[in-house]
């Protein structure tokens, strides 16, 4: 059994088709078919069900693919560990959520990181917390900020912060917020602040919610400033001198959210990510 055999199995499982798997790996189809049959003979089990529509992994095939994935990741991590220079450098991809990306503490962390580690090529990818979590699991990210509760059994937490949530209203509306009758400006599904709005309105007996979905924090704030609707946001993203906004406290069940900077729980942890996490933690302590 060779590492190439493991890559072949994973490609077939992902593509569901031997021809497409061969194209992805740059092999001829007959080579892939021969490798799979030889591997099945070596293991003494059938790894795939074959049909005119393609191939599907058997129960044993799925089990083998999970081990194959783990082995290849360990090989990749081993190579990275021995090749990594003494100083943080190279690419680093971090998933961020809008509320973190716009906070003063995060901007300060980015500035410190750039000054101290200029050899690291940092990429920030914005997404919802569930999307960040999924991308991290799929190894598309080196680390990610996720707000809300997730299964952290396969993750390690580098930094954690609990933030207060406030209700924002345009300053031109002097009346007290009427949450049941208002329009709401929300982020896409998966955002815990949106989920809090939905649950809050349900407890108020609101069956039909008037929501305007936006993907950018600036758009959300401008909508609120214009009196188009209310929004729930973390306190850290709103400046105290913004006279076009009025802030209100929210009921206890929705008053706080926790955001974590997480990475996969693996033996190898890049110096670049460790340095980034340290800058985030330092900036967070400064803002306390």
% of the chain with per-residue pLDDT over 90: 48
Among 32, 49, 83, the domain-final residue is 83
% of the chain with per-residue pLDDT over 70: 98
For residue 200, give both structure tokens.
């809050």
State how many domains the chain has.
3
Average pLDDT (215-241) is 90
- The residues that bridge with 164 in the sheet, in sequence order, are 256
| Same domain (yes/no): 46, 151 | no
pTM strictly above 0.85: no
Among 53, 83, 113, the domain-final residue is 83
- What CATH number did the domain enclosing 35 receive? 1.10.10.10
Average pLDDT (8-21) is 87
| Same domain (yes/no): 210, 99 | no
Average pLDDT (236-245) is 84
CA distances for 124 relative to 16, 113, 131, 142, 221, angstroms: 32, 13, 14, 10, 22
Q: What is the DSSP string of 68-122?
A: HHHHHHHHHHHHHHHH--SS--EEEEEEE-HHHHTSHHHHHHHHHHHHH-TTEEE
- What CATH number did the domain enclosing 153 receive? 3.40.190.10
DSSP structure class, residue 230: B
Category of 42 on φ-ψ map: left (φ > 0), alpha (ψ -120 to 50) or beta? alpha
Average pLDDT (174-192) is 87
Convert the pLDDT of each residue in 138-181 to its tens digit.
889 999 999 999 999 999 999 999 999 999 999 887 777 888 88
> Could you list the residue range(s) of the whole structural domain that residue 64 is in?
3-83
Longest dimension (CA), the chain: 76
> What is the total residue count of the chain?
288
Among 68, 83, 98, the domain-final residue is 83
| Same domain (yes/no): 113, 252 | no
């Amino acid at each position: 059994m060779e590492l190439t055999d493991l890559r072949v199995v994973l490609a077939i499982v992902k593509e569901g088709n031997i021809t497409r798997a061969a194209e992805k790996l740059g092999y001829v189809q007959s080579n892939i078919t021969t490798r799979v049959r030889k591997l099945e003979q070596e293991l003494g089990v059938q790894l795939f069900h074959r049909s005119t529509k393609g191939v599907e992994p058997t129960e044993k095939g799925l089990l083998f693919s999970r081990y194959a994935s783990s082995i290849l990741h360990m090989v990749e991590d081993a190579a990275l560990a021995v090749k990594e220079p003494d100083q943080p450098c190279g690419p680093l991809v971090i998933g961020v959520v809008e509320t973190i990306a716009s906070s003063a503490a995060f901007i300060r962390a980015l500035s410190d990181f750039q000054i101290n580690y200029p050899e690291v090529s940092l990429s920030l990818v914005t997404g919802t917390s569930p999307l960040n979590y999924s991308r991290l699991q799929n190894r598309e990210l080196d680390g990610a900020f996720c707000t809300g509760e997730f299964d952290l059994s396969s993750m390690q937490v580098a930094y954690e912060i609990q933030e207060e949530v406030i209700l924002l209203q345009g300053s031109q509306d002097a009346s007290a917020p009427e949450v049941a009758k208002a329009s709401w400006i929300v982020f896409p599904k998966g955002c815990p602040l949106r989920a809090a709005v939905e649950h809050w309105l349900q407890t108020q007996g609101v069956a039909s919610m008037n929501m305007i979905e936006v993907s950018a924090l600036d758009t959300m704030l401008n909508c609120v400033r214009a009196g188009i609707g209310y929004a729930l946001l973390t306190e850290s993203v709103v400046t105290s001198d913004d006279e076009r906004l009025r802030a209100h406290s929210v009921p206890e069940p929705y008053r706080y959210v926790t955001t974590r900077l997480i990475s996969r729980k693996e033996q190898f942890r890049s110096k670049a990510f460790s340095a980034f996490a340290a800058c985030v933690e330092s900036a967070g302590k400064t803002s306390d």
